[in-house]
Amino acid sequence: MTPIDLALLLGLATLWGGSYFFIRVAVPAFGPAALVALRVVIGGLLLWTVARATRRRVELRRHLPRLAILGLLNAALPYLLISAAELHLTASFAAILGATVPLFAAALGARYLGERLSVARIGGLLMGVVGVAVMVGWGPMTLDAATLLSVLAMLAASASYAGAGIYTKLTLRGVPTFTLALGQQLGAFVWLALPGTLLPPRATPSLAAIGALLALGALSTAVAYLLYFRLLERVGPTKTTTVTYLIPIVGMLGGAVVLHEPLTAGMLVGLGLILGSVVLVNEVRIGAFLPARAASRRAS
């Protein structure tokens, strides 16, 4: 990667990792339903504005039914589950659990795409389960029903994100990424409009909550997707997926530094196990991420 590519990658990790911080600040004031409905409206409007300004071709009409399902799996449902979970979990804890997406992707890929599960990948899946168990049993929060349900909500959100990837590969292959991003925000709004209207904020949100909402919609949704598209164009999907390893670290550090959330030994051990499991499941090879010249020199 060039310095510019690395900067884009770190920027994307910061924005997506920061979403856990923004949700934690905003969700007590807005409530999960209103927060995620407003998030997709802000993100969708900004993406549409950029599409018009740059004259990008966006084909929504022919893909609307499938984009509605994508909007449910890749936005409405996981956004709602994560927001509800962060009423009880710290942003740091939630960010680490969010790193389990590749584990669910591997399991679903084996089931629906016929992808091979090697011994290393199976070991990685088991390591991920152990990592989650360590975090839950050795974490900073009281192990009660609310905590367990919130952990399950986070894992369900990860499974939904992974399922969205499988669904996209099976039914939306070849659709431009900008159409997918804008279309999924539109599709998500279809699912969120009613609950967002029926469950408005219970009280007037503070300026901090409003700022977190705007940052969530504008930065962690619209701008993040623009960085994501740019990275895909410059370095391809394989190197872009390395953002997966940075997001939980950013979210954990953001919660600890800004919100003064505790970092326990269980969280750190759990993070290490989960990231290690992701490496095994994805069968990561360091040489794949080295520049071509460096990789050839290493091989010699």
pLDDT tens, position by position, 132-180: 888 777 766 777 899 999 999 999 999 999 899 889 888 988 888 888 8
In this predicted model, what pLDDT tens digit does every residue of 30-55 receive, in sequence order? 999 999 999 999 999 999 999 889 88
- 244: tokens are 């997966």
Residues of the chain with pLDDT under 70: 1, 139-140, 236-238, 241, 282-300
Give residue 298's pLDDT.
42
Give residue 295's pLDDT.
43
Cβ atoms of residues 39 and 221 within 8 Å: yes
Q: At 243, which amino acid appears? A: V
Residue 75: how many CA atoms within 13 Å on its side-chain side?
33
List strand residue ranges (DSSP E) for the chain, in order.
none
* Spatial distance between the Cα atoms of 123 and 36, rounded to a whole number of angstroms: 35
- 211: tokens are 């700022």
- 112: tokens are 């629906």
pTM of the model: 0.86
* CA 108 to each of CA 111, 130, 149: distance values in angstroms, whole numbers, following the listed order: 5, 19, 22
Give residue 205's pLDDT.
93
Cβ atoms of residues 14 and 176 within 8 Å: no
* CA 47 to each of CA 61, 77, 241: distance values in angstroms, whole numbers, following the listed order: 17, 20, 22
Q: Residue 175: how many CB atoms within 10 A of its CB? A: 17
Q: Which residue in 135, 82, 69, 85 sits closest to 272, CA to CA?
A: 135
Give residue 46's pLDDT.
94
Cβ atoms of residues 41 and 214 within 8 Å: no
